[in-house]
Amino acid sequence: MIKIDIINEVAKVADISKGRAEIAVETIFSTMKNALKDGERIELRGFGVFEVKSRKTGIGRNPRTGEIVPIAPGKKVRFKPGKEIKNL
């Protein structure tokens, strides 16, 4: 499923135009992106939890040359599915 499929489903279920459905879906996604960017946790009951976790620094290895490469600290988004999603 891609974003346009979600937009079409929202338009159909809510009985609104695809343009209005697109605005709604884009608003939800941009709100979620901004919340994650600010380090907030997003909990959708019955679906799951999105949160930003810090990634440690480390040392990796280039598989082609075997050269040691430093890995910079960073952040990544984690998703933990809720009970309803786990039981699919």
pLDDT tens per residue across span 15-38: 999 999 999 999 999 999 999 999
User: Who's near 83: CB < 8 A, 6+ residues apart?
Assistant: 46
Query: Same domain for 63 and 26?
Result: no
Query: Same domain for 24 and 6?
Result: yes
Query: Same domain for 52 and 80?
Result: yes
pTM score of the predicted model: 0.76
**Domain range holding 9?**
1-39
Q: Is the pLDDT of residue 88 over 90?
A: no
Query: Same domain for 64 and 23?
Result: no
Give 57-81 pLDDT, tens digit per residue: 889 999 999 999 999 999 999 999 9
Please state the rounded mean pLDDT for residues 2-12.
97
Query: Same domain for 48 and 88?
Result: yes
Structural domains of the chain, count:
2
Phi, psi of 48 (to 5 degrees): 160, -175
Residue by residue, DSSP assigns 33-54 as HHHHHTT--EEETTTEEEEEEE
Query: Same domain for 53 and 18?
Result: no
